A = this chain, B = another copy of it.
Amino acid sequence: MNRRVTLSDVASKAGVSVATASAVLSGKAGQSIRVSDSRRRVVLRAASSLGYVPNAAAQHLKTGDDNHIIAVFTYENIFPSDPRSEYYLFFAGIQQEAEREGYDILILNNWGQDKSRSSRIRLASGAIMIGVMRDDEHIVSLMKQDYPLVFVGRREIGHGRPVHCVTFGYEEAVDSLVEILSRRFDRIAYVSSSLSAAEPSEDKSAYLHAACKRRSITVVDIPISDSVTPSDATSVISAGAVIFDRFFILDLFTPIFQERGIYPGHGIFGAVLEDDWPGTHGEWTAWENRRLELGSLSARHLISFLSGSREEQGIVPIPILESESTRGL
């Protein structure tokens, strides 16, 4: 392979110093360095005849400027051959926003395995983390140095440090939901899983309790593990209104509802506090799928972080949809 053409190759071919060549080629001629028109032309000609391409990494090393690269990482695979991936829309949103703002994207494929992972993330000016974190050791060491990091979804790994994340506007959405249910019910069952510790659900739960309290509605808390007991089912059905924390929890109840001949809008009302990304739970969907927007926002948030903003959270409002499980209330 031919050695790459460097600035000093261009300079010596043009018979000028590297300083002059640099000034001309980086378009900065005129700042602290001025170059005569004749010389500038010579440099330009030398560069193009040699096919000079600047080494962006070296430029960045020297200047320390934002290199206009956003890293995206996750432990999951965002590009399965089936494009209906859980994370695809987040990614698409990030990509669109990055493109709009003139940023490139570095996909960190090997974050999971590689030991030198934290150093690879530093090739970018900042990073966006999608999905569940299995291990935060490297993340924490990046955060220690205020490395610009934005999480998609609520995170609490700060160890006291601020954590930048973008989330759906669950607080407002839960409030609207409770408002709707309160038209007919004064008790709401809340079924959550003791297992799903991956994504913190305490805040969703808190929003729900607060919204119910404001309207003097009783919350019947039903924590379940991996299966539903008859008494769980009875509590839910007798309340008439139910909020499930996650879709997989709803799925545990569905056969029971069928067995008892009740279905969304007939004998049971409510919603699930999770965005319906696979689009398979239409009757229970509570709000629009705005994953694309959340992805975009994460990129916008990171970019404004890079230009000095210290804002910690970004929120994407999630408008309530009418579905079978809330219709007619």
Contacts and interface: CB of A to CB of B under 8 A. Distances in A.
Interface of A: 1-2, 4-5, 48, 51-61, 67-69, 77-81, 83-84, 88-89, 91-93, 95-96, 98-99, 102-110, 113-114, 116, 118-120, 122-123, 140-142, 144-147, 292
A192 to B, nearest CB: 31
A289 B169 CA distance: 41
Nearest to A310: B1
Contacts of A99: 77, 109-110
21 contacts: A1-B146, A2-B145, A53-B118, A53-B119, A53-B147, A54-B122, A56-B116, A56-B119, A56-B123, A57-B57, A58-B61, A68-B120, A77-B95, A78-B95, A79-B95, A81-B92, A99-B110, A104-B106, A104-B110, A104-B120, A106-B107
A58 B200 CA distance: 38
Given A92-B79, A102-B110, A110-B102, A53 B142 contact: yes
B119 A109 contact: no
A236 to B, nearest CB: 36
Contacts of A1: 146
Contact of A60 (B57, B67, B79, B108): B57
B81 A292 contact: yes
Given A106-B106, A109-B99, A122 B2 contact: no
Given A55-B122, A79-B96, A102-B109, 10 more contacts: A4-B122, A48-B141, A51-B141, A51-B142, A52-B141, A57-B57, A57-B61, A80-B92, A95-B107, A105-B107
A79 to B, nearest CB: 4
A145 B109 contact: no
A89 B96 contact: no
Contacts of A141: 48, 51-53
Contacts of A119: 53-56, 59
A57 B55 CA distance: 11
4 nearest A-B residue pairs (beta carbon)? A83-B83, A51-B141, A51-B144, A99-B109
A297 to B, nearest CB: 14
A104 B109 contact: yes
Contacts of A102: 109-110, 113-114
A222 B95 CA distance: 42
A218 to B, nearest CB: 41
Contacts of A104: 106-110, 120
A147 to B, nearest CB: 8
A78 to B, nearest CB: 8
Contacts of A144: 2, 51
A98 B109 contact: yes
A219 B51 CA distance: 45
Contacts of A61: 55, 57-58, 61
Contacts of A79: 91-92, 95-96
Given A53-B118, A88-B83, A69 B145 contact: no
Given A95-B107, A104-B106, A104-B107, A116 B83 contact: no
